[in-house]
Structure 1
Amino acid sequence: MLTKVLVAYGTTNGSTARIAETVAEVLRKAGVSAEAVPARSVGNVESYDAVIVGGGLYAGRWHKDARRFVRRHGRALAGRPLWFFSSGPLDATASERDVPPVPGVQRAMARLDARGHITFGGCLEEGATGFIARRIVSSGKGGDFRDFGQITGWATRIGDECTTAPQGR
């Protein structure tokens, strides 16, 4: 059983943080000790049995904090169960079909032998920071496209994997 899971995330306006917190909450309900932590705040991953890394998508790239986290902790991540998620499409596509990971995430998945990836819809609402984000919202193309049923289902599958995994990594 994988008993302690880190959900590290990179976010600018908090949407990805809310997804990470939901994933950690679902894992805890499954009997797994899980915590959601900003990726830039994680000193090491040695005390975790498994790791989930999430990042918002900006101009076709994962959030810089998620990218840096994966680079900084690459060796340790390669030795434990690992999943990735992205958040970002500002439409319903992520709920309607599988949206593949962006190239940088694909490369990290291959390098670290990640068990999986999913893209969730994003959220960009009034008060968003950044020039481009404010322009998107003011043009009427923002909104909340996160599908918490989809997020919960994905986290539940990971929780099942964690609770049925043999001891050790």
Structure 2
Amino acid sequence: MLTNVLVSYGTTNGSTAEIAEVIAEVLRKDGLTGDALPARSVPNAAPYDAVVVGGLYAGRWHRDARRFARRHGKVLAERPLWFLSSGLLAPSASERDIPPVPGVKKAMVRLDAREHVTFGGCLREGAKGWVAGNGKCGDFRDFDQIKAWAAWIGQELTS
């Protein structure tokens, strides 16, 4: 049984970090070890049995998530792997499947990732980044959807 799961993420304003923490929490409730860590702070992915990598969706993944996938590619290709994107500032992420951006799709193929999902994002007043200036603030994350996806990953790993 695969029990030690890394949930690694790249984030600018903390929204994707919060999603990663929820995923790790659900995995822990399912009896797994779930560590949510910033992608740039993971020195070695080898101690983990499975990995979830998340990055901000804004036409491409967060730089830290992209670098993580490249730096740890050999290890990731040998483990169950899932990708997530967050940051879509509209309710449509909860209403339909949003495909990965081209760079993430290439990484999925290269690393044989099992699945990609796009979740809505959250942009608070005063956030950093170019998107923050366009007035699209709001929280579009569906935590029931996020928890259900995490529980499905937990079932995949324990069955």
TM-score (norm 1): 0.92
Post-superposition Cα deviations, 1:17-67, rounded to whole Å, max 9, x if no partner, equal 000000000000000001000000000111100000000112x01000000
Match of 2:63 in 1: 64
Q: How does 1:16-165 map to 2 (within 5 A)?
A: 16-58=16-58, 60-130=59-129, 132-136=130-134, 139=135, 141-164=136-159
Q: Secondary structure at the match of 2:148?
A: helix
Q: How many percent of aligned residue pairs carry the same amino acid?
A: 67
1:162 partner amino acid: L
2:31 partner amino acid: G
Match of 1:167 in 2: none
1:135 partner amino acid: G
Q: How far apart in 1 are the matches of 2:87 and 2:33?
A: 27
Q: How far apart in 1 are the matches of 2:104 and 2:13?
A: 21
Post-superposition Cα deviations, 1:102-160, rounded to whole Å, max 9, x if no partner, equal 00000000011101010000100112013x23312xx3x21000000000000000000
**CA-based RMSD:** 0.8
Q: How far apart in 1 are the matches of 2:148 and 2:65?
A: 22
Runs (4+) of structure 1 moved beyond 2 Å? none
Q: How far apart in 1 are the matches of 2:126 and 2:33?
A: 33
TM-score (norm 2): 0.98
